[in-house]
Structure 1
Amino acid sequence: MAVEKMEMLNVVAPIAAMDEIAKEIVLSNNVHMVNALHEINESNFTIRVQEENLEELVDICLIRPYGGEMEDRGTPEDIKKLLDFFKIEPYIKEKYLSADYEENVIRDKIHAIYAAAAPLQEKIKEAEEQLQSLADFKEHIKFMKDVDVNLDELNDLKFFIYKIGILSKENRLKLKRNYENVSAVVLHIGSNNVGEVYLVISPTELERETNRILRSLNFQEIDMPKEFAGKPLDVMLSIDRQMDVISLELKALYKKTAGLRKEYEEDIMLAYSRLRLKEEMMKVKKETACTNEFFYLAGWVPQREKENIRARLEQFGEKVILLFKDTAEVQKYMIPPTKLKNSPFMRPFEELVNMYGIPSYHELDPTAFLGITYMLMFGIMFGDVGQGAVLWIMGYLLKQWKGQGIYGSILNRLGLSSMAFGFLYGSIFGDEHLLPALLIRPIEHIDLVLQGSVAIGILLILISFGYNIINGIRQRNLQEGLFGRNGLSGLLFFIVLLLMVGNRIAETPLIHSGLAGGLLILFGILIIAKEPLTNLLLNKRPLIHESASSYMIESGFDIFETLLSMLSNTVSFIRIGAFALNHVGLFIAFQTMARMMQHAAGKFFILLLGNVIIICLEGLIVFIQGLRLEYYELFSKYYQGEGMAFHPVKLDYES
């Protein structure tokens, strides 16, 4: 529902404590690192001027960036090779991070495991390559199994050469038409999924000419190893025997590998967890600045996590200096990162917000508004109990796929909204006779549905104006919040327009036409003159940062664009009702086709097909149209999305 408040953390500590402090920062999962040297150079890094801090204050004059790298490069490589060899899905366990381990012992253990696994890996690789080579050769020679000739005789030919290869259907016909120009014997010996297989025998003296012709036909030559002798059928049997022997050897090697994995998996995961911890610690260190005696660290911390961070770092003694600063104390160019704080039900919609842009720190988080309105619009456009239940099930299944949990959760919520409106419409799998309508049946109240869609659009646009006004206040942007076309002046301009339209519809006038015209001119002038009025109120000079004529022309077009956008934005919401009617109309078409079928099975198939098409095709269209209304009609009025995401150094581990 909001953007979490941030505070800037400055740390000064003895350089001997750098590893332990870096480790605690990583394990806290709540520090977004900032380059300390940059902070110091811009005079943002603060140390209290007290007698006990004099040594650190004097030492800061000798500041330099931390230039450390990971000392042991061999062990990480061995760990990654072992994970790959044993096909272990890497994960991090918290118990491996918090406890103290002797790094030398871990390193020696990994080297010992690798020394035991490497020869085994080499044997497996060699056997698998040999097995694959035999399988490829068997695939090639099978095309000659019906040819009564010894391979050693072919290989011993002195005055002739032979080739076996594949031609496509098109090139095969081209070869057939030009047989008289080919100085070779061409025999068709088989077919595969690529093309036709041929044996080509040519005089050695004409090899160059034969090769030229075959290249022009894109002849794909098959490699035939020379070490095999005998008839093709006998060679194939020999290959089968060799493959059986190698397969047994591989089975034994795989069994031995499984035993090694079972014995050493915990050791490998311990080493992997510690490696990932060291990698994240290195990210912390690279953002620090240091001298010979001290290091200096800066980062953004969520305000609610401040005491937790303090407790973690103050355990290292009085020499550790901590200072937390509010965002107001940091110069304007230091933009705090944005960390959103939403309820679990609304959290998946953060992904849709982030697709447009990250909210800036002083901007309202639109996640809840987007989530509620998006579900509302989707439900209105796609209201059906049965089809909504299918979407919910699809969302549940999608959540089971790795990396798709957020999108599955969004689909879950849209399915629930569709089901809710399905009960209001009395619709289940397109049928409107099985359930009573708790509200209305859209196809029976077309005018009401379309008018209601526009009314919903007007309400959402008014709320969007409110969001923009609040953002203007929070960001102290008087120009956009008070005088902008999406600010207070724009809101009043829009309300007057609505009242004027209401005069045409209502039986009694809602506002006097003369007053309405005067107010439109007044609010239009405020929008046009927003820059000079703002500068006048804030006592800034000059009032306009360009020539008066250029400013007036640009502002005049701006007010014209404002009028058009207000009208188009409002009318655009009619698509909500249009898609609600289209949803019903499309199924009526399938029902009509089903009635034309003679058999019950045919009717069932048509209705099933209709539901599949509606769920997949129309569901996708409604999903996109709802998102379009959010982005173009609403976000464009109040949301900038120019923030920086909160990315703390952290580890995702299993408890």
Structure 2
Amino acid sequence: MAVARVDQVVILLHKSERDSFLEELQKASIVHVSDLRSDASIEEVRELLSPEERDEGELEALLSRLKRSHGFLKPYIPKKGFLAGLFGGKIELTRNEYFEIVDSFPMDEFLESTEGMERELSALKVEENSLLNRLEGLLPWKELDMNVEELGHSQEVVVVAGTVPIEKLDSLRELPLEYVEVNRDAKKSYLLLVFRVKDEEEIRRELLALEFEEADFEGLSGKPSEIIEGLRERLSEIDRRRNEIAAKAKELAKDAYKLLVLYDYYAGILEKYRAENRAAATEEAVVIKGWVKRSDWDRLEKLASSYETVYVTRSEPQPGEVPPVDLANRKAFKPFEMLTRLYGLPNYAEVDPTPLFAPFFAFFFGLCLTDAAYGIVLLILGFILMKKMHGGKDFLWILVAGAFFTVLAGAMTGSWFGDLPERLPIPFFRNLRNSLMLFDPMKEPMKFFYLSLALGYIQLLFGLLVGFYNKLRFGDTLGGISNELAWFVVLLSAGLLAFANLKAGKGGSFLFGGPLQTIATLLIFAGVFLIVFFSGGKSRNPVIRILKGLYNLYGGINFVGDLLSYVRLMALGMVTAGIAMAVNITAGLVMGFPVVGYVLAGLVFVLGHIFSIAVNALGGFVHSLRLQYVEFFTKFYENGGKPFTPLAKRAYFTVFLDEESGS
């Protein structure tokens, strides 16, 4: 329905025009280049092909260095204000500024400098941790008034420093040694022990039983207090050096954005190299195979005709081929393509779900918020952001669409910053609210409940119809009739039967009495018959086919679960109203405080409703999207399409002010 039609193209050109042609093809961004290196169609002539390839690894390594260096400098980049940070997006510059950076920026020197600083900071951190650990171990020995290198053996005695648990200190007195307590903490006593060499073996055995731990002064010399002072001096030097590096990094950070400009530039070159490597080439000729959208064929043909040796042919996709997929929706639905891509692109022959779910998603989002004032705030915010930002406009359009339906849903349920019109002493607002309100969900929650179920019921039936249409397109007529269409008939008839019974119970008309009930019942039986006897596949064994059909019939209970999932629309709408009311009540309470009451009330009102909008908008977005992915898509959508990714100069971080497009 909205999957762009594509044709396969084969481009033949002389090698002398390859670089120029690929450069222009990349600017045009219209051809998805296929990889001929593993293409069976060139197997017979593979020995004639040139083995030379562009080195992609070198450019990939450079891109990694650029990104890593920018990541290193990022903490040193001056922080933007809140609004600037909120509106900030890609780097905005003119073409001249862009190419001036590419041509004149000392990239190699800059990268070596940042990488050197990063390595040095890493080494300083390792050394600092080592020194801190050493310092922590030495501090309890600060009062030891002897050089640590004097510890150990002499001819007659052994001098040892170490710790024992305090509760075992008394047992130490029974050993043939002398000790001095240097320090103690809550658990250990820090001791200097002296004993004769001839008693060493026995004493060490006893010390082991007393959980004695010998102090480690290996590689150190001097008194512990002197060593501690030296360690602290070195830590101060490390801190000073770190500050020097930070100051230098802060200077370099002024040019950090240029690394991202260079990233975009070299990423474009890498894309071109990859396209060259995917092509097949001899010493003289180059063959490029790929896909082009039919709407872009004239552009490709015109581009090819501007070169002397470039020839291009096209053919429709053949059975067994898997064309890449691009979505081609009308402007109103275009932004919602990002949600389809998030789930997965359709197969080339499959229905694009984007225009099918977009209205449901936007309306469901509005029902989850059900506050007209919140919708107006989101509308204003969305339009402001679209004027300020160059990227992310698809998401903002989705937000605006949802905000529009939020205004409608809020007016329908009488919610304007919750129950604010009821609390204001202004009859106009109250009268306006009441004139637009269809029902108050706080007083009539069942109406909201039935509305949520009705919307879910409609979307599920619609999904089954789309699934039936899909199967007809794929030639599975029996499968479509015995599954999707049969379930559509069963569920539609069940709904009509329930409605007829409800009307009949209330003394409804003749139409909603016996005749409709009879017709609905017969249709239910007809649908069940189709499911049981024909939905089990094409097995020749009737028993197996019927058993599969019965299993499929049992699976109908999933429709009940899917339908009940739509109750979340009511739940989230009620939560939004509840939070808004709580904010208003709290603001009213603090208003009575002397002197600062009105200021506090204003803060509570503004901050409380900002919080409510943020939390409930996020919840509304997530749950509305979940209903599409889990309940709606599963009725007809398989996905698994390969994205159409034309050779192009992609703007990951930059946007041209003079063209509103990146390079």
Q: Which moved more, 1:21-30 or 1:501-510?
A: 21-30
Verify: 1:422 aligned to 2:410, yes or no. yes
- Counterpart in 2 of 1:520? 524
CA 1:553–1:335: 2 relative to 1, 3 Å? same
For residue 357 of structure 2, what is the amino acid of its counterpart? L
- Counterpart in 1 of 2:83? none
2:140 and 2:190 in contact (8 A); partners too: no
For residue 320 of structure 2, what is the amino acid of its counterpart? Y
- Counterpart in 2 of 1:55? none
CA 1:251–1:197: 2 relative to 1, 3 Å? farther
- Cα separation, 2, equivalents of 1:357 and 1:156: 73
Classify the secondary structure of the residue corresponding to 2:483.
coil
Q: Cα deviation per residue 1:512-549 (whole Å; 9 max; x = unaligned)?
A: 444444333334444455579xxxxxxxxxx9343122
- Cα separation, 2, equivalents of 1:270 and 1:589: 48
Verify: 1:366 aligned to 2:357, yes or no. no
Residue 6 of structure 1 and its aligned partner are, at CA, apart by 1.3
1:395 and 1:407 in contact (8 A); partners too: no
1:142 and 1:232 in contact (8 A); partners too: no
Classify the secondary structure of the residue corresponding to 2:9.
strand
CA 1:186–1:221: 2 relative to 1, 3 Å? farther
For residue 577 of structure 1, what is the amino acid of its counterpart? M
CA 1:636–1:246: 2 relative to 1, 3 Å? closer
Classify the secondary structure of the residue corresponding to 2:646.
coil
For residue 626 of structure 1, what is the amino acid of its counterpart? S
1:504 to 489, 501, 520: 501
- Counterpart in 2 of 1:546? 540
1:143 and 1:189 in contact (8 A); partners too: no
- Cα separation, 1, equivalents of 2:611 and 2:494: 41
Verify: 1:2 aligned to 2:11, yes or no. no
Structure 1 segment 326-405 matched on structure 2, within 5 A:
326=316, 330-342=317-329, 346-385=333-372, 387-388=374-375
Structure 1 segment 39-118 matched on structure 2, within 5 A:
41=41, 61=45, 67-71=51-55, 81=65, 114=108, 118=112
CA 1:36–1:62: 2 relative to 1, 3 Å? closer
- Cα separation, 2, equivalents of 1:120 and 1:609: 42
2:166 and 2:188 in contact (8 A); partners too: no
Residue 142 of structure 1 and its aligned partner are, at CA, apart by 8.8
CA 1:271–1:485: 2 relative to 1, 3 Å? closer
- Cα separation, 2, equivalents of 1:75 and 1:618: 45
Residue 370 of structure 1 and its aligned partner are, at CA, apart by 2.2
1:394 and 1:408 in contact (8 A); partners too: no
CA 1:390–1:96: 2 relative to 1, 3 Å? closer
Q: Cα deviation per residue 1:274-310 (whole Å; 9 max; x = unaligned)?
A: 6433421232233333445433321122222222233
- Cα separation, 1, equivalents of 2:324 and 2:144: 76
- Counterpart in 1 of 2:632? 634
Structure 1 segment 572-611 matched on structure 2, within 5 A:
572-581=565-574, 583-584=576-577, 600=593
- Cα separation, 2, equivalents of 1:214 and 1:292: 83
2:6 and 2:323 in contact (8 A); partners too: yes
1:92 and 1:272 in contact (8 A); partners too: no
Residue 651 of structure 1 and its aligned partner are, at CA, apart by 2.9
- Counterpart in 2 of 1:464? 463
Verify: 1:305 aligned to 2:328, yes or no. no
Verify: 1:322 aligned to 2:334, yes or no. no
Classify the secondary structure of the residue corresponding to 1:322.
strand
- Cα separation, 1, equivalents of 2:374 and 2:26: 45
Verify: 1:11 aligned to 2:1, yes or no. no
For residue 355 of structure 2, what is the amino acid of its counterpart? A
For residue 546 of structure 2, what is the amino acid of its counterpart? M
2:66 and 2:260 in contact (8 A); partners too: no
Classify the secondary structure of the residue corresponding to 1:377.
helix
- Cα separation, 2, equivalents of 1:120 and 1:568: 57
For residue 650 of structure 2, what is the amino acid of its counterpart? D
For residue 69 of structure 1, what is the amino acid of its counterpart? E
Unaligned runs of 5+ in 2: 75-89, 154-158, 424-429, 657-663
Residue 635 of structure 1 and its aligned partner are, at CA, apart by 1.8
CA 1:31–1:594: 2 relative to 1, 3 Å? same
CA 1:442–1:220: 2 relative to 1, 3 Å? farther
For residue 558 of structure 1, what is the amino acid of its counterpart? N
- Counterpart in 2 of 1:27? 27
Classify the secondary structure of the residue corresponding to 1:486.
helix
For residue 53 of structure 2, what is the amino acid of its counterpart? E
Q: Cα deviation per residue 1:332-374 (whole Å; 9 max; x = unaligned)?
A: 2212222123456644533433343322222222223323212
Residue 484 of structure 1 and its aligned partner are, at CA, apart by 3.9
CA 1:161–1:646: 2 relative to 1, 3 Å? farther
Residue 323 of structure 1 and its aligned partner are, at CA, apart by 0.9
- Counterpart in 2 of 1:453? 452
Classify the secondary structure of the residue corresponding to 1:443.
coil
Identity %: 17
- Cα separation, 2, equivalents of 1:545 and 1:381: 46
- Counterpart in 2 of 1:495? 492
CA 1:33–1:202: 2 relative to 1, 3 Å? farther
Classify the secondary structure of the residue corresponding to 2:290.
strand
Residue 322 of structure 1 and its aligned partner are, at CA, apart by 0.7
1:285 to 276, 279, 294: 276
Classify the secondary structure of the residue corresponding to 2:349.
coil
- Cα separation, 2, equivalents of 1:252 and 1:596: 50
Residue 146 of structure 1 and its aligned partner are, at CA, apart by 10
CA 1:448–1:296: 2 relative to 1, 3 Å? same
2:140 and 2:183 in contact (8 A); partners too: no
1:151 and 1:228 in contact (8 A); partners too: yes
2:184 and 2:190 in contact (8 A); partners too: yes
Residue 650 of structure 1 and its aligned partner are, at CA, apart by 2.9
1:92 and 1:269 in contact (8 A); partners too: no
